[in-house]
């Protein structure tokens, strides 16, 4: 009997990595061996699934259809094995890799870890906190927590929370430089920006009289790649920043930071998503962790 599940697994991995070589390294096979397995699959199906090139694999329409169905079948196989090994109950078990930004992870993921593992002790949780955007497939990450607009349309996503934006500064900075009374006053302050292109350049505000939103360009001599970095620079008294409130809520409560221009806050929301590669039919351990976060957040 041919190993159809094995062929599916090889194809799904190669399609996700867009490379026979990368899939071969992951499976400890040569690129030619992976290519032969995919070719054998195509011969049996009587249709081409991938367009081979020197740079990367491209799926044909039939390949896209097969990828979606094969991903679902493999997830169902994993679920069945989990259910049988769990005595007939769909209990989450096995390794689970989670990636989150440093600030969100420290404030929300780590404090919930003990509760999650108490409820589901058969899960082996592997947590990585980094402010870099990781490639889920290449880094073997099951779930990544991302903030703001989602850019990678090939990933599945579920909204698990949201946070409004807030302008903040340290009490020492405000004492030395003064508290801005309107967005126009920011021209005289050192504003700390992100060092990557945002969907909206400048900082958004709302006129409290007219209720209209507007964007104010800001500038300064500091930039950062994450809300965690901007938070720390503001705590150190180096300027004024604008970040998601989840980054700085404990600091505001402790008096390390103070909200600035709150009467001009447009209440714009940054959505927080759990993203994952593959089909909407998830392995139990992945679905359970996402459900857990959504409930707690």
CB 4 within 8 A of CB 59: no
CB 143 within 8 A of CB 100: no
Distance between CA atoms of 293 and 239, rounded to whole angstroms? 33
**Regarding the domain with residue range 163-270, which homologous superfamily does it belong to in the CATH classification?**
Periplasmic binding protein-like II (3.40.190.10)
**Predicted pLDDT of residue 7:** 85
Which residues does 40 contact at the CB level (< 8 Å), separation at least 6? 7
**Which CATH code, of 3.40.190.10, 3.90.320.10, 3.40.50.12500, 3.40.250.10, is assigned to 94-154+274-296?**
3.40.190.10
Start and end residues for every CATH 3.40.190.10 domain found in the chain: 94-154+274-296, 163-270
Pick from 136-140, 196-200, 244-248, 251-255 the range whose average pLDDT is largest: 251-255
Which pLDDT band, with edges at 50, 70 and 90, does 193 fall under?
A: very high
**Predicted pLDDT of residue 279:** 58
Retrieve residue 168's tokens.
């903040």
| Helix H or strand E segment including 143 | strand 143-147
**Predicted pLDDT of residue 68:** 81
Retrieve residue 67's tokens.
């990828």
Is 141 or 283 the better-scoring residue by pLDDT? 141
pLDDT of 1 higher than 50:
no
C-alpha dihedral sign at 114, 117, 118, 121: negative
Start and end residues for every CATH 1.10.10.10 domain found in the chain: 4-85
Residue 279 has φ and ψ, to the nearest 5°, of: -90, 160
- Over the stretch 60-83, which tens digit does the pLDDT of each residue have? 888 888 888 887 788 777 767 666
Is 281 or 160 the better-scoring residue by pLDDT? 160
Which pLDDT band, with edges at 50, 70 and 90, does 153 fall under?
A: low
Q: Which CATH architecture describes the domain 4-85?
A: Orthogonal Bundle (1.10)
pLDDT of 232 higher than 70:
yes
How far is CA 125 from each of CA 32, 80, 117, 231, rounded to the nearest angstrom? 34, 21, 8, 28
Give the number of residues written for the chain.
297
Q: How many CB atoms lie within 10 A of CB 249?
A: 14
Average pLDDT over residues 11-33: 85
Residue 119 has φ and ψ, to the nearest 5°, of: -75, -35
- Is the pTM higher than 0.75? The answer reads no
- Over the stretch 263-290, which tens digit does the pLDDT of each residue have? 999 988 888 999 988 655 677 888 899 9
Q: What is the dihedral of CA 130, 133, 135, 140, to 10 degrees?
A: 20
């Amino acid at each position: 009997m041919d190993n159809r599940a094995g062929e599916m697994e090889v194809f799904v991995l190669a399609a996700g990595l867009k490379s026979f070589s990368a899939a071969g390294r992951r499976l400890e096979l040569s690129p030619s061996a992976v290519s032969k397995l995919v070719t054998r699959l195509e011969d049996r199906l009587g249709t081409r699934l991938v367009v081979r090139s020197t740079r990367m694999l491209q799926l044909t329409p039939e390949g896209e259809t097969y990828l979606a169905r094969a991903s679902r079948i493999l997830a169902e196989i994993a679920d069945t094995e989990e259910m049988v090994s769990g005595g007939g109950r769909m209990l989450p078990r096995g390794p689970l890799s989670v990636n989150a930004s440093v600030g969100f992870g420290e404030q929300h993921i780590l404090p919930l870890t003990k509760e999650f593992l108490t409820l589901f002790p058969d899960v082996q949780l592997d947590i990585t906190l980094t402010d870099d955007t990781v490639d889920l497939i290449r880094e073997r990450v099951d779930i990544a927590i991302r903030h703001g607009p989602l850019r990678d349309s090939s990933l599945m996503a579920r909204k698990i929370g949201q946070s409004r934006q807030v302008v903040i500064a340290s009490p020492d900075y405000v004492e030395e430089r003064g508290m801005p009374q309107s967005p126009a006053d920011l021209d005289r302050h050192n504003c700390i920006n992100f060092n990557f292109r945002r969907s909206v350049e400048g900082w958004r505000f709302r006129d409290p009289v007219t209720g209209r939103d507007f964007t104010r360009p800001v500038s300064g001599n500091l930039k950062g790649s994450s809300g965690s970095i901007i938070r720390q620079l503001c705590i150190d008294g180096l300027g004024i920043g604008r970040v998601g409130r989840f980054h700085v809520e404990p600091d505001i409560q402790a008096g390390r930071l103070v909200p600035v221009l709150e009467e001009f806050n447009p209440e714009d929301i940054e959505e927080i998503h759990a993203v994952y590669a593959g089909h909407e039919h998830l392995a139990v351990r992945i679905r359970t962790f996402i459900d857990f976060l959504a409930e707690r957040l």
